[in-house]
Structures are given as structure tokens and as C-alpha cells.
Structure 1
Amino acid sequence: MKFAGTDSYVATEDLKIAVNAAVTLQRPLLVKGEPGTGKTLLAEEVAHAFNAKLITWHIKSTTKAQQGLYEYDAVSRLRDSQLNSERVHDVRNYINKGKLWEAFEAEERVILLIDEIDKADIEFPNDLLQELDKMEFYVYETDETIKAKHRPIIIITSNNEKELPDAFLRRCFFHYIAFPERETLQQIVDVHYPGICQALVSQALEVFFGIRQAPGLKKKPSTSELVDWLKLLMADGISAETLRERDANKAIAPLLGALVKNEQDVMLLERLAFMGRQGHR
């Protein structure tokens, strides 16, 4: 079975090739790209396309690799021993299974998403090398080895906040989701809002790309923010004509808070708009 995108997810040809190559090689697919380009959504759509369960492991700065395997709750066992509980005699009562264990013991092949791996400590990826390579790990407390019943399809996302170790990269199939071209963005919008006024989309894209191309912008607006902005424009009844005419009347686009997320960029766009108006006089 090949991934060919879904009705609700516009996948470029190179992204389809990357997903299918990772599945064929039985290697994790490492996906990088700007925030908001659909990296996390990709895993959801692959699960939908393959009719498979999605198991998501959201990574934080405090996440440890061991948590993905299991955690032994020694404190609860000590408390139960003090209370003479019968549970204390079976150590398995104090083993909390992690996301990898859940994926390994699934009766059918699942999609395992390790989301934003670059948020964790630099050693985090290396600590998972054996488990991702061999598809097994050892549980010391119960003296057993947990092996994957079915090798999961693993998708790993990164926002490129830090470099990943070479040993980890060698075990992955890599794909960078480039920011969509105008035609692809048009398709994405059409998927989210069938029947939307095309004149509004066309003018909104002009404004959107104009903002992204502004020199010195700290954070460029993403695909997901464009989708949100269009939703607001439609909700407020803002037309293509309003967006087109605002250049002469207003410093910045309406409802800009959906696209620009810090005061430095707002001030930058206001200055650029002011300079543009001065230049046209």
C-alpha cells in the first residue's frame, strides 16, 4: 500500500515519495520544516490513509528516552508495601508502559509519531538508537525483552531547534517540507474551505506572500496561520476589494494578529507600509 495523500491533506510528490521510501526501508521518517507546514498533521493523515492507529509521543524539554519505553513507580510500591497491599507482590503493577511499548505490543501495525524531537536533550535521540533499530528493549524489573509484534511506521518531526546526532540521522530517511508554492497553498485552502471566493484567496495570498517577503521579519507566517486568517476574513465578511484597497488607507492588513505574532514584526510592517505610502506620493 502506497501513501498518496488524502482528501484533507495536500501532499507534494516528493513528500509522497519520502513516506513510501521510509515504509519500504522500514526506517523512521525524519521530517523537518518551518513550524506550521503540516509535519504533525502528516502522521495523522498517514494513519488515516493506511487505516492504522496513531500513537503520539509529544516531546518536551524535560522528556527522557526511558519514558517512551516504560517507567518503574518505586514510590507507589513502597507505599503499598507499608500498607501491606497484595499488589506489592507483582512488580508489573508498578510498570507504566510508554508510547514505544504501546506501539510494540499492538496487534496490528501502527503509526508512531515522535513529535518535535529537537525539544529534548541532545542525548535523547542517541538513547533511542537501539530501540528504533532493533525494535526491542529490555525491562530490568521483570527480566523480559519486549519485541515489536509488527514494526510500526515511525514519523519523527523536528523544527530544527538543535542539530541531531549523526548516528541517529543515519538510521532515518530524511525529508524537508519546503514552504509551499502559491499553487500548493491554493490547493490547501481549497481543501479547508471548498467554495471559498477565489478573488478573496488570490488577494489574501498577495498580502500573505508580501508579509513573508518583508526584509527583517522575525517570524514568517505559516500555512496554518494563513488558513486561520482566511477563516477570520470570511467570518468578518472582509472582501477581496477591502484587502486590495487597504494599501491606500491602512498601514497593515486587517486581522493581522492571525499572521504576525510579535510586536517587532508589527512595527516593522507598519514602517514598511508608511515608507511605501510616502514613496507613492
Structure 2
Amino acid sequence: MKFHSTQSYVAPEDLTQAVNAAVRLERPLLVKGEPGTGKTELARQVAASLGLPIVEWVVKSTTRAQQGLYDYDAVSRLRDSQLGDPRVNDVRNYIRKGKLWQAFEADTKVVLLIDEIDKADIEFPNDLLQELDRMEFHVYETGETIRARHRPVIVITSNNEKDLPDAFLRRCFFHFIRFPDADTMRAIVDVHFPGIKQGLVAAALAEFYGLREVSGLRKKPSTSEMLDWLKLLLAEDAAPGSLRAEGAALPRLHGALLKNEQDVALIERAAMMARGRR
């Protein structure tokens, strides 16, 4: 199995090599990069490229590692026992399978996405070490051991909000997705908007990368926001020369690119100071 770019996803050579190395090593692929660089979409495209189903586990601040294995609903079982429900005689009726369990028991190899692992508690990655290493876990309520029928391709994403434990990092193949350069971004745009006028793309890229180069931005516009902006420009049939009004500090429809008032004010101040120096 080899991953490669798909019709809807442009994968640079270093990213392609990282995915294929993780598949060969049978190690989780830990992917970092600034938000909007396509980390989550990568897992979906790996599944599409390899022809595999995908199981997605979206991690939140309240997520516990145990939830990836299973949840035992003791409260419901107690309530049903008080009501005389015969289901209480089988504890399996109160066990909800987690995403790891679903991936382990799948009839075919799957891609398992553990998305934004750094949102959870710092102990979360360590709590999964044994399960990801051995590809099995024990269900204490039933006494059974769940083993993976097929070792899944595991993609783990992180926005670098927290440092991950060294023991966890040792078990992963790591790749940092660099922000696309202009040529790569042009290829991404062509995939999403076939036949788009290249004059509009050139003008939009100039505006986009100009915003990203402004020093002090709290949130630089991302790839996904660039694509949203282009979608709006195409809907309005915008001409390349109309993306910024004469003397304007900000490009047309800048709300697709800039997402907080501090960044808008920063760019407006920078433009005002530049005009004052002329």
C-alpha cells in the first residue's frame, strides 16, 4: 500500500514519504502544523488513496483515553435492575464500544484518525501507549481481551497546544506539515477550482501571502480560509484588479481571511503608517 496525492488533495513529496514510512513501520503517524494546513483531511485522503474505511476519533478537552476503548454505563444498569429489566443479566448491554474498539474489530484494515490529541489532558497520550503498542486491550466487566484483527493505519494530529510525552513520541513517526509555498498553493487551488482564471489566482495569492507576512498577526490566514475567500470571489465574478479598493488597507471580503478584530486593526494601522511615510 502506498499513499499518493488524490484528485482532491495535493500532498508534497515529504508528506507522501512520511505517510508511507509510517505505514511500512506500522507506527502511528503524528502530524503537526498550524491550523488549516490539512492535517485532519490528510487522514481522510490517506484512507481514500489506500482504499480503506476510516474511523474518526475527535478529541476534546474532556475526552478520556478510556472512552476510546469503551464506556460502561453502570448507572443505566442500576436503574434497569430496579425496574426488573432482564437486560441487566448481560453486562454487554451496557458497554458502548469506543473508536479503538471499532477499529480493532473491523473486518478489514482501516485508517484510525485520532484528531487534535493535544486538546486532552497531558496524561491522555500515555494512557494509550499499551493499547497502541500491543493492539489489544482488556474489558474488565466481561473478562475478554479485544485484539486488532488488522493493524490499523493510525494518523494522530496535533496543533502543538501542548507538549506530548517523550514515551508517546518515541512510538510515533513524526511529520510537520509546512505551510504551502505559492506554487503548492496554486496547485491546491487548481484542484479545488478547475479552470479558474490564473490572473485571479495570481492576484489572490499576492494578497493572501501579503497578509500572512504582516508581523504580529494573532492568527495568520490558512489554506482553508484562502479557499473560502476564492469561493466568494468566484461567486461575485471578481476581476483580478478589484480585490482591493484603491487606498484600502484590507482586501475585499477580508472576513474570510482575518478572524479577529485585533488583526484587522493591526493591518489598518500598518497601512496608515505606510501612507504617512510617503
In the superposition, the TM-score normalised over structure 2's length comes to 0.98
Matched, 1:252 2:250: yes
Cα deviations by residue, 1:225-278 (Å, 9 ceiling, x for unpaired): 0000111111122211112x63x3312111111100110100011111222233
> For residue 237 of structure 1, what is the aligned residue in structure 2?
237
Cα deviations by residue, 1:161-180 (Å, 9 ceiling, x for unpaired): 00000000000000000000
Distance 2:217 2:266 in 1: 7
Distance 1:158 1:41 in 2: 13
Distance 2:183 2:277 in 1: 31
> For residue 274 of structure 2, what is the aligned residue in structure 1?
276
> For residue 40 of structure 1, what is the aligned residue in structure 2?
40
Distance 1:214 1:162 in 2: 26
SS in 1 for 2:211: helix
Cα deviations by residue, 1:131-170 (Å, 9 ceiling, x for unpaired): 0000000000000100000000000000000000000000
Bigger mean CA deviation after superposition, 131-140 or 250-259? 250-259
After superposition, residues 213-232 of structure 1 pair within 5 angstroms as 213-232=213-232
Distance 2:216 2:57 in 1: 35
> For residue 139 of structure 2, what is the aligned residue in structure 1?
139
SS in 2 for 1:241: helix
> For residue 117 of structure 2, what is the aligned residue in structure 1?
117
After superposition, residues 30-109 of structure 1 pair within 5 angstroms as 30-109=30-109
Distance 1:192 1:127 in 2: 39
Unaligned runs of 5+ in 1: none
In the superposition, the TM-score normalised over structure 1's length comes to 0.97
Whichever residue aligns with residue 128 of structure 1, its letter is L
After superposition, residues 103-182 of structure 1 pair within 5 angstroms as 103-182=103-182
> For residue 4 of structure 2, what is the aligned residue in structure 1?
4
Whichever residue aligns with residue 31 of structure 2, its letter is V
Distance 1:17 1:142 in 2: 42
How much has 1:197 moved relative to structure 2?
Answer: 1.1
Bigger mean CA deviation after superposition, 227-236 or 30-39? 227-236
**Aligned residues, how many?**
278
Matched, 1:197 2:197: yes
Whichever residue aligns with residue 74 of structure 1, its letter is A
Distance 1:195 1:127 in 2: 48
Cα deviations by residue, 1:64-84 (Å, 9 ceiling, x for unpaired): 000000010001111111111
Distance 1:225 1:148 in 2: 38
Whichever residue aligns with residue 223 of structure 1, its letter is T
SS in 2 for 1:141: coil
Q: How well do the aligned residues superpose, as a CA RMSD in angstroms?
A: 0.9
The partner residue of 2:259 within 248, 261, 264 is 261
Distance 2:234 2:140 in 1: 57
How much has 1:103 moved relative to structure 2?
Answer: 0.2
Distance 2:134 2:159 in 1: 26
Distance 2:59 2:250 in 1: 36
Whichever residue aligns with residue 272 of structure 2, its letter is F
